[in-house]
Structure 1
């Protein structure tokens, strides 16, 4: 696993091998991450540069760190898995990004109130097929984590039901992975 583009292009990140089933770690592959950021740059008017990014179910942090490498202003990571937090902190160190990130070691379904600015770009990569994405998005909306007119990128293999206030714009399939783009309305 590595950073694909931007200031940290080519930087290797801590690896979980083929994933950690017990910790529900299933990092987005380099190929899918590259395709995702190409779609963002080409079809969404570059929502990354200068963005306040929220990475929910952050895992290793690869999505948020990729955004930071490509010009995001800051990233807030929400993750509560012990193994994932260890890898996330290691990857933040590898990218020397400590001053640009905040790590919230909380349950994504109960993040509480956001004490900072709301986020304009949200990555959501919950464990597949458990319905956790809906719960986490609803909680982050109520908690003031997501800005008006934010773009949400939701990675999930199963069908989804966007919470009220979000509209599905597009979806793309990459093997077993489906990436959906939603906007806050």
Structure 2
């Protein structure tokens, strides 16, 4: 697994051993960022000004890819201690320490001054963690009202999102189902 574009392009990321983590494939990340770059509702300027929240960070590939492409800051959340150590190594490998803040668990961490406009939800499949986590982050005012929320689920997984969100794009990539969401008041 490697960073696809930007200042960290070509950097091969560490991955944890075992099956606890299911990193987003290079192909799925490429598709995700291609959609963001070319969509009329996002674009390069959006990515370059983004504040990232990577809710189930794993290796950090999504947040680090965004930082590589110019995002301003990334908040990473990873509950598994072994995987969090790998994530720390990947942040150091990319020399992204100054732009990265690492938390233990997205559902128990107390966040301050964390208003993010590009949010990645890529939890373990089939555990219905996305709606619970979205509600928690929304309640703690961590997601800006102009945010894009990107979810990755299994193709056969049902995802019921908050009614304040509208689906603006979706794509199946291998075993992953990517969905792009925006608050209703931001949809044109």
**TM-score if structure 1 supplies the norm length?**
0.92
| Secondary structure of the corresponding residue to residue 5 of structure 1 | coil
Give the match for residue 56 of structure 1: 55
Give the match for residue 12 of structure 1: 12
Structure-1 separation of matches of 2:37 and 2:169: 15
Identify unmatched segments of 5+ residues in structure 1. none
Quote the offset at 1:75 in angstroms. Answer: 0.2
Structure-1 separation of matches of 2:77 and 2:140: 13
Give the match for residue 77 of structure 1: 76
Quote the offset at 1:159 in angstroms. Answer: 1.4
Identify unmatched segments of 5+ residues in structure 2. none
Quote the offset at 1:176 in angstroms. Answer: 1.4
In the alignment, is residue 30 of structure 1 matched against residue 49 of structure 2? no
Residue 136 of structure 2, aligned match among 136, 139, 152: 139
In the alignment, is residue 45 of structure 1 matched against residue 70 of structure 2? no
Structure-1 separation of matches of 2:109 and 2:43: 29
**TM-score if structure 2 supplies the norm length?**
0.90
Structure-1 separation of matches of 2:117 and 2:180: 13
Once structures 1 and 2 are overlaid, which stretch shifts more, 127-136 or 37-46? 37-46
Give the match for residue 163 of structure 1: 162
| Secondary structure of the corresponding residue to residue 170 of structure 1 | strand
Give the match for residue 181 of structure 1: 180
Give the match for residue 123 of structure 2: 126
Quote the offset at 1:165 in angstroms. Answer: 2.2
Quote the offset at 1:15 in angstroms. Answer: 2.5
Quote the offset at 1:80 in angstroms. Answer: 1.0
Structure-1 separation of matches of 2:144 and 2:108: 18
CA contact (8 A) 1:77 1:104 kept: yes
In the alignment, is residue 67 of structure 1 matched against residue 52 of structure 2? no
